[in-house]
Structure 1
């Protein structure tokens, strides 16, 4: 039996299984293929960027490890992303930070960045037929050394970061106009105190004023969508974070902004899958930063764990996919960086497929009837449903390596390209 015959045999058996639950697999595969996942450029170079690639990361950001082959230039980074994307099925986007501007060796301050500094990224995205997302980079800069940016008490410093964020919005709108799909621009700042502050009020008032200035100029949502991102704490900001969950939830609901939920930005006992349905009635939509915290906001590579599946199921069960922008946010310098992209992004797609193969309507009927016994039994049964056979067929259909066959391709690229750097 050939590999293709084995995959088709498994798929036919899976079709028989899922048809008993009223699930049309071909319809599911079309839907899952169209869900856009925004890959993050910073996995490829450990969040170094091109402004000061040898500089030290600040703002609670840390990439550990020294695996060979880190991208050093925009050309190398785009080549690595190309390789990763060639081994990932489904619709993709790319998420950029402002520190990935290409300034041709010229010193350009972050508040002076312009669309022209991202022309190469836009041309690359056009050629691939994908959209771009964006983030102002409010960290790892002399103006952020004391841990404050948009909530800084010094007006000169605060205004610098306001100008940077305004410039970032204009760059994102340029992406949207050129690529025909709105860029999601996410605002996260590291502002906070290491130890217990006396005045919790003033920094938040300054942050509120900064955000209002940043968003003062209307931008067509066909080109740009703004999102705000909270955090519980960061390194150096353990006692107090200005942009807390409550602050940004209030801002998103009252100012018609997307709310960003990062899987690593809450207490270890909290999960963002439980928050989706709680906030969706009050915000225009969500931006998800799918990551994996290990005891803290450590941004480990996404694995197919319970929480990843719970996030995907919540989006599918609630019908939230159209109002949700899925982005990835992890960086691991201890393993092959291209493999990290492939593993994490494939797992996000796998989780969505598992969610779409669930007999959700039937389960909701059982729940409404109060038949919790059957609900539990069916949920447990679905854990051993033949999802893997459908996933293999999906990969083959998309002319992608099946199983772990992609590892050989990555190892070849590592030997021929990464190890030559």
Structure 2
């Protein structure tokens, strides 16, 4: 479509939504400042850059596929992120793992310092991006036994405690340098493949380790701490020390952000139903948005019913200032840069659909007990011309509308990605 066609379609869509009391111009202004944090580990299959032959091992996670063009260095990843961000409307962030260290010196994870991520800071500052961070409790000899912060080996446990402390300082440095708080999220894979006898002791060790990591108070203007649960992982099917119930209690009692990974629950559980419940008791929530297919399989986001429900809950509950949105999938079977673009654009589309609802009117129907009108309105909204609003949003954000962004990906694939050996 030409720019004129997009603008014409938008003018008709604007009138349709205005008839319902929805100001589409205001909606797009709001959408443009909702940041989505792009997860760096989609670009390198969660391998990191600690060594030239770094591989994803351990932690119950796995990247499937061998599509050409994986980022082999931090510089290549930044190049790939630049391309992805140029095709995603809005102002966004980037979420790093500690394994994405970019340093000329070899340094162990418990000795990581902000200087080892200075190139990331310089890159983000130049682009006016915020950075988020995650300690990496996997793909390391000291994690091979499946235990990090819950290990019975005091030396191993201390190593990972020091890693967590170091990562919080790096998060603080990100926040100070970039003028926006870094969300530093702690997730560990610790658990058992088979049924354990003692479920309590690992959790006692985990509480003590976390308390030690989080003992130093950091100004929330610079760093926000989050903890993330998981149902199970590969080789850890019977017991996970950091379960949802564990971290919900820990986050409430320590005044932390609670992280919901949408793939870390039973297939029939939905995070959209949990947000308003948890936000009664914690101030802020972190979302790691993925798509599980029968298990925590980290598929690229599609515009599914649950993704729309998640966005609706954020908007309807007026939680936009209390929910931090990050992507968390890693698909090595398709173009990795395209995966970022598809996932982020779908997350933005879901938020747009939610923002285009006449929420006040729908809430009045509900309070009045007029459930017939509520259902009618919700169904009629599905066929309104929101696609025209999305295309106009892309146009105003100087990114390709429709599927045209794929042409740029194909050129980048030919000129850059396929030349990586």
Are residue 7 (structure 1) and residue 6 (structure 2) matched?
yes
Partner SS for 2:32: helix
Partner SS for 1:72: coil
**Matching residue of 1:355:** 354
What is the CA distance between 1:398 and its match in structure 2? 1.1
Q: Provide the C-alpha distance between the structure 1 equivalents of 2:71 and 2:143, rounded to a whole number of angstroms.
A: 25
Are residue 96 (structure 1) and residue 96 (structure 2) matched?
yes
**Matching residue of 1:272:** 271
**Matching residue of 2:44:** 45
Are residue 59 (structure 1) and residue 59 (structure 2) matched?
yes
**Matching residue of 2:24:** 25
Are residue 364 (structure 1) and residue 363 (structure 2) matched?
yes
1:227-265 superposed Cα distances (whole Å, 9 cap, x missing partner): 000011111111111000010000000100000001000
Are residue 304 (structure 1) and residue 315 (structure 2) matched?
no
Partner SS for 1:281: coil
Q: Provide the C-alpha distance between the structure 2 equivalents of 1:79 and 1:55, rounded to a whole number of angstroms.
A: 21
What is the CA distance between 1:107 and its match in structure 2? 2.4
Partner SS for 1:34: coil
Are residue 173 (structure 1) and residue 176 (structure 2) matched?
no
Q: Provide the C-alpha distance between the structure 2 equivalents of 1:252 and 1:103, rounded to a whole number of angstroms.
A: 33
**Matching residue of 2:236:** 237
Aligned runs of 1:133-144 on 2, under 5 Å?
133-144=132-143
Q: How many residues of Structure 1 are paired with residues of Structure 2 in the alignment?
A: 419
Unaligned runs of 5+ in 2: none
**Matching residue of 1:391:** 390
**Matching residue of 1:201:** 200
1:172-223 superposed Cα distances (whole Å, 9 cap, x missing partner): 0000000011100000000000000000000000000001000101110111
1:264-297 superposed Cα distances (whole Å, 9 cap, x missing partner): 0001110101100010010010000010001100
**Matching residue of 2:110:** 111
Partner SS for 1:78: helix
Alignment TM-score, normalising by the size of structure 2:
0.98
Partner SS for 1:259: strand
What is the CA distance between 1:399 and its match in structure 2? 1.3
Q: Provide the C-alpha distance between the structure 1 equivalents of 2:219 and 2:181, rounded to a whole number of angstroms.
A: 9
**Matching residue of 1:76:** 76
- Contact residue 290 and residue 301 of structure 2 kept, 8 A: yes
Aligned runs of 1:182-201 on 2, under 5 Å?
182-201=181-200
Q: Provide the C-alpha distance between the structure 2 equivalents of 1:365 and 1:343, rounded to a whole number of angstroms.
A: 35
What is the CA distance between 1:341 and its match in structure 2? 0.4
What is the CA distance between 1:56 and its match in structure 2? 4.0
Partner SS for 2:188: coil
